[in-house]
Chains A and B, each alone.
Chain A
């Protein structure tokens, strides 16, 4: 009896099978949600007003935190660049390192992660609460589609506004990096501009924008999916919110790696 219990405990086939089934189930339902989102696009008269409302909430609501994060990121990058490079390399290199760090990595990734927390949590909690209080059922009972009323506006607003916020974060990060480099390293305007131009490729902005769109997709669709399928009261909503933030953040980090390999891997 004891042996069979131990055997059962170390037999990994059962948990692996269970996890695989769960992952496959989620993947399937997520895919069908995406199909529903595309199918809802022609009903723009329904989703457009809600999208404008959501875009305002995401855009204005996130502006302060984005300024804060990008500002600190730019400043810290400048200080650390100074610490690493002073005396070893010409100062103008700092201009290149700061601008490239902000545009290629810090702007999109930090903004994505902070928005995964802010917007992702809000989407999952809102939709989860609507699910457990039967508001989504009520919407369906009125013959109205939750996809066009709830999901599509949030996803489209996020996919439009988040890249704009990332570009804004890039600008703020670059500016604070420049100010911090001037103050702490004593770099001249001309040297900073020379370094920034020397290392800059026009593709860098495209790369930053592509990452921003991909992150926006993760920050909106994943929390919407998790919140929409929340179960079991307040506890379920709490769990959905946590899962949404974690899943969106991990997806951002994974996308960051994949996009770096795909878009930059063979570039240089």
Chain B
């Protein structure tokens, strides 16, 4: 279970998170919606301990992430897969080595035969051919980079998957492919997921619950139906704007 309690974070004078409470139950997929630059990725990085809160508590499986020692934090991170916005693939390594680094158990990591099988399996899960293994990240398209990033995140068989804008920068077709993939991984691996996105349609499709981060606070949380039925002006404004964008994009397509 992921539990953020009264988390606040500021960078210099800019308040990014202000007394944020956010909970994700075991096996659940929660989409964190919000406009660009509102602090969704910052919230996600708190969960994995890449950013520490100024105040408040971040609990994962009952462990206080900001107070963990280095080795304990590394241990916790082996249970969390993080999909970065732009893939964050290691430029100097081919796809095989990138995904292999995701195998968090050291003995399995050093066993080349096991690593090969695991990488092949992860590529299959993200709908990529085994031949991609030999390619360098610079040879991959945007959508493929995202999928390799997901493959790396699931290589260590994590309990939690955190997606940071998994569909940003992708065309609608590739966005759908990634959304389908998230749904499929959720069903096949049974992981607890947090999907940070500003794509309302994608969020409605993959999430059990949706939270809206607005002006440094969680403005609304609920199922898709509850969010749509919300009387909150900010929620309606955000939903309408995104649906307008969807119509414009649809028109262009």
Interface residues, chain A, with chain B CB atoms under 8 Å away: 129-130, 133-135, 137-145
A139 to B101, CA, bound (A): 8
Q: List 17 A-B contacts (CB under 8 A).
A: A133-B86, A134-B86, A134-B88, A135-B90, A137-B50, A137-B84, A139-B90, A141-B48, A141-B50, A141-B80, A142-B101, A142-B102, A142-B152, A142-B156, A143-B78, A143-B156, A144-B101
Are A142 and B86 in touch, CB under 8 angstroms?
no
A12 to B151, CA, bound (A): 55
Taking the complex as formed, is B175 at the interface, i.e. its CB lies under 8 A from any CB of chain A? no
| B40 nearest CB across to chain A (Å) | 15
Taking the complex as formed, is B75 at the interface, i.e. its CB lies under 8 A from any CB of chain A? yes
| B223 nearest CB across to chain A (Å) | 29
Name the residue on B nearest A145 (C-beta): B74
Are A134 and B75 in touch, CB under 8 angstroms?
no
| B136 nearest CB across to chain A (Å) | 14
Name the residue on A nearest B84 (C-beta): A134
A130 to B86, CA, bound (A): 12
A141 to B152, CA, bound (A): 11
The 0/1 profile, CB within 8 Å of A marked 1, for residues 180-219 of chain B is 0000000000000000000000000000000000000000
Name the residue on A nearest B104 (C-beta): A143
Name the residue on A nearest B51 (C-beta): A137
Are A144 and B84 in touch, CB under 8 angstroms?
no
Interface residues on B, range: 20 to 34
Q: By DSSP majority rule, is chain A's interface helix, strand, loop, or mixed? A: helix
| B157 nearest CB across to chain A (Å) | 13
Q: By DSSP majority rule, is chain B's interface helix, strand, loop, or mixed? A: loop
A134 to B42, CA, bound (A): 13
Chain A residues with CB under 8 A of B96:
none
A142 to B153, CA, bound (A): 8
Residue in B45, B77, B85 whose beta carbon sits within 8 Å of that of A142 in the complex:
B77
| A199 nearest CB across to chain B (Å) | 47
Taking the complex as formed, is B111 at the interface, i.e. its CB lies under 8 A from any CB of chain A? no
Chain A residues with CB under 8 A of B104:
142-143
| A132 nearest CB across to chain B (Å) | 11
Residue in A129, A133, A135, A143 whose beta carbon sits within 8 Å of that of B77 in the complex:
A143
Taking the complex as formed, is B82 at the interface, i.e. its CB lies under 8 A from any CB of chain A? yes
Given contacts A134-B88, A135-B91, A141-B50, 9 further A-B contacts (CB under 8 A): A137-B50, A137-B84, A138-B88, A138-B152, A141-B48, A142-B78, A142-B102, A142-B156, A143-B77
| B190 nearest CB across to chain A (Å) | 21
Name the residue on A nearest B102 (C-beta): A142
Residue in B80, B82, B88 whose beta carbon sits within 8 Å of that of A135 in the complex:
B88
Chain A residues with CB under 8 A of B156:
142-143
Residue in A133, A143, A144, A145 whose beta carbon sits within 8 Å of that of B88 in the complex:
A133
| B207 nearest CB across to chain A (Å) | 22
| A136 nearest CB across to chain B (Å) | 9
Are B78 and A138 in touch, CB under 8 angstroms?
no
A140 to B90, CA, bound (A): 12
A138 to B89, CA, bound (A): 8
Residue in B77, B85, B89, B102 whose beta carbon sits within 8 Å of that of A140 in the complex:
B77
Are A141 and B74 in touch, CB under 8 angstroms?
no
Chain B residues with CB under 8 A of A143:
74-78, 104, 156
A144 to B102, CA, bound (A): 9
Name the residue on B nearest A36 (C-beta): B70
A262 to B91, CA, bound (A): 44
Chain B residues with CB under 8 A of A142:
77-78, 101-102, 104, 152, 156
| A25 nearest CB across to chain B (Å) | 15
A143 to B90, CA, bound (A): 15
Chain A residues with CB under 8 A of B80:
141
A257 to B161, CA, bound (A): 54
Are A138 and B90 in touch, CB under 8 angstroms?
yes
Chain A residues with CB under 8 A of B91:
129-130, 133, 135
